[in-house]
A and B are shown apart, each in its own frame.
Chain A
């Protein structure tokens, strides 16, 4: 009879320990969770973007679906170019070559997304304004922005010494980003523009976008930005490997 309470105590202890450890039921989140989300969101954007109901607008008609592809491209470009700017500033403060590689690869990715933005925009312009390209502040600004960043790549290509290239390219990159802000954010708001959201034109937010479209638009923005970041990380890894093999040769 004496042993009974003792045994109960032991059993208790085991159960308590077990519940604390909880090893079998822990959900292990893989490091690449955001990549899965990116793929799912982009897939959802493509499927829902083409199939869901959209409001019938006079000139836009079905081209309004381009909103899910054209606008997120520019959002992703601004995000990734901001990453580029951030790493350029870091490069100047710690004079680290890796920051320069990250900054340049971010700019490369930004140009990729920017080119896609120009192409989707051009298609949209053809079906709504009637021309592939119109002389508009916003459109010209986007084109010049691409030129500024292409000049950045030329500048990087023309300096051989690594440390020097990192510093000088970083300085130019900071200039480039400031000019980009002036071009895409300030100037189009001052002058007349066909582009929605500029020159007195209302943006899409005001009345075209109903709750159905928001259901696709916001996931689309997040999905495209995540996908862009994924491409960017791949480029950075590739560039770092290239540099490592170069150094070892």
Chain B
């Protein structure tokens, strides 16, 4: 039941996105132009710390812009219609899954364009990709939930930034640490950090699943 609802809702989101491509195109253009602007000022970056920091800052801002619209742009009538048809859990799970897909595409593109322009210094690509994958899922679940919270307030775009930045920092610190390890190409993967990242993802999704019920009705 829940699985079916989630499937249909994700399909709906994808269809909607395909129907007006300008939103998706806007986000992708945002990433590319940000990277190009950094390329114009930095040229090549060889210092791993700077490379890493710039990459995650660009990705963080792009993700916030990409995910923010998931609840902020929904009209009241559409949400009401949705609420009469499906369970709240299905709504939040479908949004998280859809945003994860979006962010995986976004971060893949970001990595590609970034390594073309700024230079590729990653030594352990598989660890970096794994970090990126887990990071996309974590970002999307956290930002979807924050977007749901912020959409209930009056000045929601400002609040989206205020609410999401501090709460994202634990995730971001783990991600930066892991991707730094990947750049440096350490012999052994730091399993502790990977575990913490998995744990964070699971706990954020579980909390969203449990708490969204209380958010959705006015």
The chain A residues found within 8 Å of chain B, CB to CB, are 92, 137, 141, 144, 147-148, 150-151, 154-155, 158-160, 164, 167-168, 170-172, 174-176, 178-179, 182-183, 186-187, 190-191
Contact = CB atoms under 8 A, between A and B. Distances in A.
22 contacts: A144-B169, A148-B166, A151-B162, A151-B163, A151-B167, A154-B162, A158-B153, A158-B159, A159-B152, A167-B214, A170-B214, A171-B149, A174-B207, A175-B145, A178-B207, A179-B166, A179-B167, A179-B170, A187-B196, A190-B192, A190-B196, A191-B177
A187 B159 contact: no
Contacts of A171: 149, 211, 214-215
Nearest to B142: A175
Contacts of B174: 187
B218 interface: yes
Most chain B CB inside 10 Å of its own CB: which residue of A150, A168, A174: A168
A144 B166 contact: yes
B166 A147 contact: yes
Contacts of B32: none
A160 to B, nearest CB: 8
A240 B103 CA distance: 45
B153 A155 contact: yes
Contact of A176 (B145, B167, B196): B167
Interface in B185-211: 192-193, 196, 200, 203, 207, 211
Nearest to B218: A164
A172 B149 contact: yes
Contact of A164 (B152, B159, B163, B196): B152
Given A148-B167, A190-B193, A155 B149 contact: yes
Contacts of A182: 170, 196, 200
Nearest to A95: B214
Interface residues of B, number: 27
A192 to B, nearest CB: 11
A164 B193 CA distance: 37
Contact of B159 (A147, A154, A160, A186): A154
B163 A155 contact: yes
A80 to B, nearest CB: 19
Nearest to A169: B149
Given A182-B200, A187-B173, A191-B177, A155 B159 contact: yes
A92 B214 contact: yes
B54 to A, nearest CB: 19
B126 interface: no
B217 to A, nearest CB: 9
A43 B201 CA distance: 45
A147 to B, nearest CB: 4
Contact of A175 (B162, B169, B193, B207): B207
A183 B162 CA distance: 18
Contacts of A174: 207, 211
Contacts of B145: 175
Given A155-B149, A187-B173, A190-B193, A168 B166 contact: no
Contacts of A137: 173
Contacts of B41: none
B155 interface: yes
Contacts of B73: none
B154 interface: yes
Contact of A168 (B152, B203, B207): B152
Contacts of B215: 167-168, 171
Nearest to A182: B170
B86 to A, nearest CB: 20
Contact of A178 (B149, B203, B214): B203
Interface in B171-190: 173-174, 177
Nearest to B211: A171
Contacts of A159: 152-154
A79 to B, nearest CB: 22
B167 A175 contact: yes
B154 A183 contact: no
Interface pairs A-B: 8 shortest CB-CB: A147-B166, A148-B166, A158-B153, A182-B170, A171-B211, A144-B169, A92-B214, A167-B214
